[in-house]
Amino acid sequence: MKKTASQKANTSESFTDLKTKTPPKNSVGFGAIKSVVGHVFRYMKLSDAVKISTTLNQKGGFDCPGCAWPDPDDERSALGEYCENGMKAMAEEAQKNVISSDFFARNSVDEISNWSDFEIGKTGRLKEPMFLAEGATHYQPMSWENAFIKVAEHLNALNNPDEAVFYTSGRTTNEAAFLYQLFVREFGTANLPDCSNMCHEASGSALSETLGIGKGSVTLDDLYKAEVVMVIGQNPGTNHPRMLNALEKCKKNGGKIIAVNPLPEAGLIKFTNPQSPKKLLTGGTKIADVFVPVTINGDVAFIKALLLKLLEEQTLIGNVFDKAFIEDYTHNYEAFISDLKTYDFEDCLKASGVSREIFDDTFNLILNNQKIIICWAMGLTQHQNAVDNIRELVNLLLLKGSIGKEGAGTCPVRGHSNVQGDRTVGIWESAPQAFLDKIEDKYGFKPTTKHGYSVIDAIKAMYEKEAKVFFGLGGNFISAVPDTNYSAQALANCNLTVHVSTKLNRSHLVTGKEALILPCLGRSEKDYQKSGIQTQSVENSMGIVSSTKGILEPCSDALLSEVAVVCNIAYATLKNRTKIDWLHYKDDYALVRNDIQDVVAGFDDYNTRLKQPTGFYLPNGARERNFKTETGKANFSLNKLPKWKLKANELIMMTIRSHDQFNTTIYGLNDRYRGIFNERRIIFMNRDDMESRGLVEQDVVSLKSEFNGVIREAHHFKVIGYDIPRNCCATYFPETNVLVPLDSFAHTAKTPASKSVIITVEKSISSF
Ligand SMILES: Nc1nc2c(c(=O)[nH]1)N[C@H]1C(S)=C(S)[C@@H](COP(=O)(O)OP(=O)(O)OC[C@H]3O[C@@H](n4cnc5c(=O)[nH]c(N)nc54)[C@H](O)[C@@H]3O)O[C@H]1N2
Ligand SMILES: Nc1nc2c(c(=O)[nH]1)N[C@H]1C(S)=C(S)[C@@H](COP(=O)(O)OP(=O)(O)OC[C@H]3O[C@@H](n4cnc5c(=O)[nH]c(N)nc54)[C@H](O)[C@@H]3O)O[C@H]1N2
Ligand SMILES: [Mo]
């Protein structure tokens, strides 16, 4: 019997021999160096490792595909501006193993789906295009030419272009992303969902509305000069380790750090810079001056409590709010204040789960300082009220006049290394009209003005068979999206699923009737084209565009670049319907940049400025107090407290990353900073919540979520008692995506609410 789509989509439920230790109170240091060396020796050629560690994130080197944290403009460490998890990302991409057609001849799709994500990822780099025929059990090789024809035939057979979905993951460079969206729009649809929909979409939505730009406003230099940095809903020690260097520098300059997180994440507590031999020996820098153990989704309540106290002080003593800034630059202040007055301080503080003492420490830092930066990530964006979370932070910054001046502002810390750039160059299912007009001016076709599908809409459309072709430029759609079983059926309903990938992943196994795997070059590899080795470009979390150029030989001669794949598919599909000379772009990517410069604001002299060693900044209105909102001012907003209430036996669950994964790529089975080794099927619970349920350490439990009458279940998790607020719990993604309801998402932004899943926990009867 062949496995069903949802059987293939779910990860194996077996345990892998859990070991635990007390979570460390310090991050990075020798432990990080040991971990990097282990990964590098196991998976990479040594010569490649040396090349990479000396060129990664260096001026004129190549951009680490690990995360979107910017590189310092000034000095970069002689040891290589790398971090443990950046090197692990590289060890994964530059694996010595390659898998070719004989691997797929030996292993059926069903067999591979029995392996864990860790095992699938360690098979090696994809080497040649592979095709899964209808009803077939095994992939077989296919020539690039036939693969392009296959995609073109499916796309051209659709009743209308909106029956195709074109997903992007955020590693795609500006050049590939621009051409991809151009092809999709010329083909006739705006169905361009991307990983951003599941990530910082809520930030983009809230920031555009309030500050007129969907990106952060600060630079690295601002971080060094801030008086207070609040890091809220983010785990930089694991996910943006180089950010700890910036926080350390800020502290050295006298800045204070407030960390707001349900978990006492090691990186937020203490950091030992691995590039400072002295620090390695002397024991590192304390990071958080105040650690705020907020309850999951208690952030609006906590910020409101701060706002209420600030208002009280302003009324009593005055000189708390930046009145001149508010007067000159903001809108909606009176409405905001009168709404704020309808809330009660004690109620808000209680809902936040924070003690009065910790609140007071935080409040004093906010009250007494004027240069404040707020950094955040998925802990704020993946909730139903995610947009409110971020708008409430903006309210706080506006009251303090902490925006558009040195050492102050917004800092949404982006995930994928070019997720921000992809959006800038047009990967957007609801792109602004001005952008579409530019496309029309430049290329002479009229892009559809209808909004396309975001990730959630795309899944529904495929499930309902309204979309029939899924094309993924990077990423691992089935493991990244919520509601695994429903989403698996959605993909299975397609006529064709296509993935442009560097490595094998679960999305290659949960297929439409036919499926293609198109292997491409990674960031680290040399991209040989007619005009020579190509340079590409990316935009980091702070809006700096810089170049990236691979340094390793490609792991197979059969690989194409993403740019070449897109050009060939566009050419094969649109043939003489197109107004664009598709094939010439792949010979010389400078031609793509010339086009981007004509269509997207801020890219003047793109090719010239890209040669500057540190790249160039894109324009940023909020940074200059030029707020391009509908009112022409920075807007205060009115935000409610979230409404959900837990029943007696329920917990609120956040799905988070371990220290050994990059999204759905599982580097290893440890989560060193949380004291977990060799296991991913665990649930972190408050010890009192365990006791009240009669659970003890390492008991095996099943998890159940009920949403709008639908019950979702996940089995075989080991309970770990942890320092987490009452009624809160945490599990790893993607193992528990099966519990995240597709219909539970952020209002207006549609980011799946994967950090607030209401569940019950039940002890398993069988023992494992
Ligand atoms: N090594 C590595 N680096 C990565 C990634 C990776 O997987 N591995 N992923 C990349 C991507 S795409 C992204 S988006 C980023 C993700 O970076 P993060 O957002 O740091 O990643 P998460 O593990 O989702 O962590 C969310 C953090 O928010 C906290 N949190 C959860 N719910 C709440 C809440 O309600 N309130 C508050 N205040 N905190 C909460 C959690 O305890 C956790 O510390 O990292 C990027 N960098
Ligand atoms: N429950 C839950 N779900 C989540 C999240 C969560 O916190 N909780 N986080 C969400 C977030 S923030 C994000 S960003 C998404 C991530 O969603 P995705 O971006 O779709 O997932 P990734 O795991 O980053 O994708 C990994 C795959 O990308 C391919 N790849 C790697 N490098 C390249 C490259 O250079 N080119 C190409 N073409 N392919 C490449 C490899 O084949 C690899 O298997 O997941 C989301 N899902
Ligand atoms: Mo992300």
Summarize the confidence of residues 364-386 as an average pLDDT.
Answer: 98
386 and 345: one domain? yes
Query: Of the candidates 378, 412, 446, which is a domain's last residue?
Result: 412
Q: Ligand 1 pocket check: which of 92, 195, 261 to mutate, most ligand atoms within 8 Å of Cβ?
A: 261
- 3-class DSSP state for residue 302? helix
What CATH number has the domain bearing residue 102?
A: 3.40.50.740
Residue 77 confidence (pLDDT) above 60: no
Q: Is residue 682 part of a domain?
A: yes
In order, the DSSP letters of 309-354 are HHHHHHHHT---S-HHHHHHHEE-HHHHHHHHTTS-HHHHHHHHT-
End residue of a domain, out of 379, 412, 445:
412
CA 350 from centre of chain: 31
Distance 667 CA to ligand 2 centre (A): 13
| Per-residue pLDDT at 266 | 87
CA triple 305-307-310, angle to 5 deg: 110
**Which H or E element spans position 159?**
none
Q: Nearest Cα to 412, choosing from 385, 384, 429, 387?
A: 387
Q: Which helix (H) or strand (E) holds 375?
A: strand 372-376
What residue type is 162 in one-letter code? D
Residue whose tokens read 């528990």: 736
* Cis, bond preceding 734 (omega within 30 deg of 0): yes
Whole-angstrom distance, CA of residue 757 vs CA of residue 739: 7
Q: Is residue 38 part of a domain?
A: no
Contact 500, 565 (CB under 8 A): yes
pLDDT greater than 70 at residue 766: no
Q: What is the mean pLDDT of the chain?
A: 93
Kindly state the average pLDDT of the residues 157-186. Answer: 98
Give the pLDDT confidence of 624-645 residue by residue, as tens digits: 999 999 999 999 999 999 999 9
Q: Which of 684, 494, 547, 589 is nearest to 175 (CA)?
A: 589
Q: Assess whether pLDDT exceeds 70 at residue 560.
A: yes
H or E, element range at 660: none
Asked if residue 567 and residue 454 are part of one domain, the reply reads yes
Same-domain status, 14 and 150 = no
CA angle (230, 234, 238) in 5-degree steps: 125
Residue whose structure tokens are 């009229």: 446
Q: Are residues 346 and 476 in the same domain?
A: no
Q: Tell me the one-letter amino acid at 591.
A: L
Is 260 in contact with 230 (CB distance < 8 Å)? yes
How is residue 612 written in tokens? Answer: 């500057």
**What torsion do the CA atoms of 302, 307, 310, 311 make, to the nearest 10 degrees?**
-140
Q: Rounded to the nearest whole angstrom, what is the distance from the C-alpha of residue 415 to the centroid of ligand 3?
A: 4
Task: Indicate the DSSP class of residue 194.
Answer: B
Confidence of residue 279 (pLDDT cuts 50, 70, 90): low
Question: Number of structural domains, the chain?
Answer: 3
* pLDDT grade for 70, boundaries at 50, 70 and 90: confident
Residue 47 has pLDDT above 80, yes or no: no
| Among 64, 195, 235, residue to substitute to test ligand 2 (most atoms within 8 Å of Cβ) | 195
| Candidate of 122, 459, 501, 703 to mutate for ligand 2, largest count of ligand atoms within 8 Å of Cβ | 501
pLDDT, position 322? 98
Q: Which of 209, 254, 256, 204 is nearest to 229 (CA)?
A: 256
Residues lining ligand 2, Cβ inside 6 A: 65, 169-171, 195, 198-199, 378, 382, 415-416, 473-477, 480, 500-503, 505, 520, 522-523, 562, 655, 663-665, 733, 737, 740, 754
| Short-list 393, 488, 418, CA closest to 202 | 393
The mean pLDDT value for 578-607 works out to 97
Same domain for 306 and 364, yes or no, is: yes
Which segments of 382-529 does DSSP mark as H helices, in order? 386-399, 419-424, 433-443, 455-463, 477-480, 484-492
- Residue 54, pLDDT > 90, answer no
Q: Please answer whether residues 621 and 212 qualify as being in contact, where contact means their C-beta atoms are separated by less than 8 angstroms.
A: yes
Q: Verify that 307 and 224 share a domain, yes or no.
A: yes
- The CATH number linked to 368 is 3.40.228.10
* Range from 93-97, 247-251, 371-375 carrying the lowest mean pLDDT: 93-97
Is the torsion defined by CA of 597, 600, 601, 603 positive or negative? Answer: negative
Ligand 3: distance of its center to the CA of 146 in Å? 33
Question: Among 274-283, 423-432, 546-555, which is the least confidently predicted range?
Answer: 274-283
Q: Are residues 692 and 556 in the same domain?
A: no
User: Residue 78: is its pLDDT beyond 70?
Assistant: no
**Alpha carbon of 169 to ligand 2 centroid (Å):** 6
Residue 753, in any domain of the structure:
yes
What is the SS3 assignment for 73? coil
Q: Which CATH number covers residue 715? A: 2.40.40.20
Q: Report how far ligand 2's centroid is from the alpha carbon of 344 (Å).
A: 41
Q: Which residues of 399-434 are buried (b: 16+ CB within 10 A; e: fewer)?
A: bbbbbbbebbbbbbbbbbbbbbbbbbbbbbbebeee
Sheet (strand 285-286) strand order: 27-28, 270-272, 285-286
Report the pLDDT averaged over residues 512-526: 96
E-state strands within 593-698: 616-617, 634-635, 651-656, 661-662, 665-666, 676-677, 682-686
Which residue's C-alpha comes closest to atom 7 of ligand 2? 656
Position 85 in a domain? no
Q: Identify the domain boundary among 566, 598, 617.
A: 617
- Which range of residues forms the domain containing residue 400? 201-412
For residue 90, what pLDDT is reported? 79
Average pLDDT score over residue span 324-347: 98
| Cβ-proximal residues to 118 (8 Å cutoff; 6+ apart), any chain | 666, 667, 668, 669
Instruction: Indicate if the pLDDT at residue 29 is higher than 80.
Output: no
Which pLDDT does position 79 carry in this prediction?
A: 46
* pTM for this model (two decimals): 0.96
Q: Are 274 and 28 in contact (CB under 8 A)?
A: yes
Question: Domain for residue 83, yes or no?
Answer: no
Does 450 lie in the same domain as 515?
yes
Task: Give the contacts of 102 (CB within 8 A, at least 6 positions apart).
Answer: none
Same domain, 391 and 477: no
**Same domain assignment for residues 403 and 428:** no
For residues 100-109, average pLDDT:
97
Measured in Å, residue 382 CA sits from the centre of ligand 3 at 10
| CB 379 near ligand 1, within 6 Å | yes
pLDDT tens for each residue of 193-217: 999 999 999 999 999 999 999 999 9
In this structure, is residue 376 part of a structural domain?
Answer: yes
Task: Say which range, 130-139, 267-276, 350-359, 457-466, has the weakest mean pLDDT.
Answer: 267-276
Q: Is the pLDDT reported for residue 620 higher than 80?
A: yes
CA of 285 to the centre of ligand 2 (A): 32
pLDDT band, residue 765 (cuts 50/70/90): confident
Distances, alpha carbon 555 to alpha carbons 100, 101, 384, 483, 679, in Å: 11, 15, 43, 35, 31
- Residue 35 confidence class, pLDDT cut points 50, 70, 90: confident
Same domain, 171 and 215: no
For ligand 1, atom 32, the nearest C-alpha belongs to 379
Considering the domain architecture, whether residues 303 and 448 belong to the same structural domain is answered as no
For the record, the structure tokens of 707 come out as 């949403």
pLDDT for position 80: 47
Please indicate, yes or no, if residue 645 is contained in any of the structural domains: no
Q: Tell whether 768 is covered by a domain.
A: no
